Amino acid sequence: MPSSTTKRALITGAGAADGIGFAIARQLGLAGHAVFLNGASARVLDRAAELCAEGINAKAAVADLTIAAEVARLRADVGAVEILVNNAGMGSLASP
């Protein structure tokens, strides 16, 4: 049973194994919080499985946050959270 200090955290943009979102999710999980990872591709499910293998309470959902219906579904799946890490985004190394 989670302690009264355990919080639920949603971390968006947590699909990359070497990304900031996944690193934050791991640290929050190691601190004892329940983490819910979001990413735009199914690789976020692999990240949640990795955290679970480390003993962290982790779940994940694929949702494109640029699509309102997917955001609504994610919100319904996750429920209330006390910690939100809004890390979703796209980067490009291409020059203009």
8 vs 96: CA distance, rounded Å: 40
CATH number of 8-85: 3.40.50.720
Residue range 18-50, pLDDT digits in tens: 999 999 999 999 999 999 999 999 999 999 999
Instruction: Provide the residue count of the chain.
Output: 96
Label residue 92 by pLDDT band (50, 70, 90). Answer: low
Residue range 63-90, pLDDT digits in tens: 999 999 999 999 999 999 999 999 988 6
36 vs 57: CA distance, rounded Å: 9
Cα distances from 49 to residues 22, 89, 90, in angstroms, run 12, 22, 23
pTM above 0.75, yes or no: yes
Q: What pLDDT score was predicted for residue 93?
A: 64
Structural contact between residues 11 and 37, judged by C-beta atoms closer than 8 angstroms = yes
